[in-house]
Structures are given as C-alpha cells and as structure tokens.
Amino acid sequence: MSTKLLNIALADDDEDDRMLFSEAIEDISIRTKLSLFNHGQELMDYLNLPNVILPNLIFLDLNMPIKNGMQCLKEIRQNPDLKDLCIAIYSTSSSERDIEETFLNGANIYLNKPNNFGKLQDSVERILQLNWQYHTSNLNKDTFLFRI
C-alpha cells in the first residue's frame, strides 16, 4: 500500500451522492484526502485560489446548478494552470451525447453513478488505481467509458 496521499475533489449537488462517495472513499485501501463541493462554481472558486494544492483527480457531476460539470470541464481545460488535471465525469447520464461531448472536451474518464454501494466502492478504487499517465496517453473512446 502506498503512503502517498491522493488529493481527490468531488463536485456534486446531490447531498446523498456526496455522502455515499465519501463513505466509499473512506473504505478503500488507498489513502485519500477528499474535498467536497456542492456545485461547479464552488469547485472553480477553490481551484482558482492562490497557492491551492490542486487535486490529483476531480470527479465532476454533469447536472449541477449554478455551474454544471460541462462548464467546469471546459473552464479547467482552457486554464493553463489547471488544464492538465485529471477529470472523471461522474454522472447518472448514460446519454451518448453527454459521453461524446465530455470526451471531446477533454475529460479523462466517464463513470456512470453505480446503483449500489459495492459497485461504487469498487469503481472508485479501480479508478484511483489507474496509472493516469498511461491512461491519458492512450485515451480513446474504449478506455474513456469506465465499465463496472
């Protein structure tokens, strides 16, 4: 087990989803620090703070008020200081249009919100274990959509 701490951010407007995600992260073998945000604007305000410790991976819900996940994704990819962050789309949407649009706008992986806690835990752990440097250099539609 690695002693390195992974800095993870989750932006999701659903309180239950944030709680389940937080519990799933607590129960896996990877050491993490999780920062939770209620909507995309909260996340972007945090990412743009001076001297902020940037997350190793951001989980973005697509459908949020104030600033949605797609707006955050585009803003992050256009910002020279943030453009290399790893971004996992974490959404209930399984729409081909949403998957295609997030892929084209630079997300690294797309995870449909699992329908039970065990699948959520397994999915999050597997995503955190990915070798992101390898994963992003070989990114294609087959590796983009994370299947449980």
Token code pair at residue 21 = 């995600």
Total domains in the fold of the chain: 1
Q: Is residue 10 part of a domain?
A: yes
The residues pairing with 90 across neighbouring beta strands, listed in sequence order, are 111
Q: Is residue 28 part of a domain?
A: yes
- C-alpha 22/C-alpha 100 separation (Å) is 28
Instruction: Cite the beta strand spans of the chain per DSSP E.
Output: 6-11, 32-37, 57-60, 86-91, 109-112, 145-146
pTM, 2 dp: 0.87
24-66 per-position pLDDT tens digit: 999 888 889 999 999 999 999 999 999 999 999 999 999 999 9
**What residue numbers bound the domain in which 56 lies?**
6-146
The residue that leads in pLDDT, 146 or 68, is 68
Q: Is residue 30 part of a domain?
A: yes
Q: Is residue 46 part of a domain?
A: yes
- C-alpha 128/C-alpha 28 separation (Å) is 10
Q: Is residue 113 part of a domain?
A: yes
Token code pair at residue 112 = 């449909």
Q: Domain with 136 in it: what CATH number?
A: 3.40.50.2300
Q: Is residue 1 part of a domain?
A: no
Q: Is residue 119 part of a domain?
A: yes
Q: Cα dist. 54→71, 114, 117, 130, 139 in Å?
A: 18, 26, 27, 18, 22
